[in-house]
Amino acid sequence: MAKINPGLFVRQVRQEAAKVTWPTRKETTVSTIMVFAMVFLAALFFFLADVVIARAVKLIFGLGG
């Protein structure tokens, strides 16, 4: 494996970092809101699924009156 000059490595890292397209504040905000919305919907779905399955199990085993 070839040895890499630390100065050359730092220059290459800076060059690559300059190529990155960073999101705007608006894009970041919209993405964050969408993530929170999807997490809320997923939590609601799994909560309702859990309630339905729990009632079905109680009904099947006769434990739920």
Cα gap 5→11, rounded to integer Å: 10
Mean pLDDT of 9-32: 94
pLDDT above 70: residue 65: no
Which residue did the predictor score with more confidence, 33 or 9? 33
Average pLDDT score over the chain: 91
Query: Which pLDDT score is estimated for 27?
Result: 97
Distance CA 58, CA 39 (A): 28
Question: What mean pLDDT comes out for the span 39-45?
Answer: 98
Taking the model in full, what pTM does it have?
Answer: 0.64
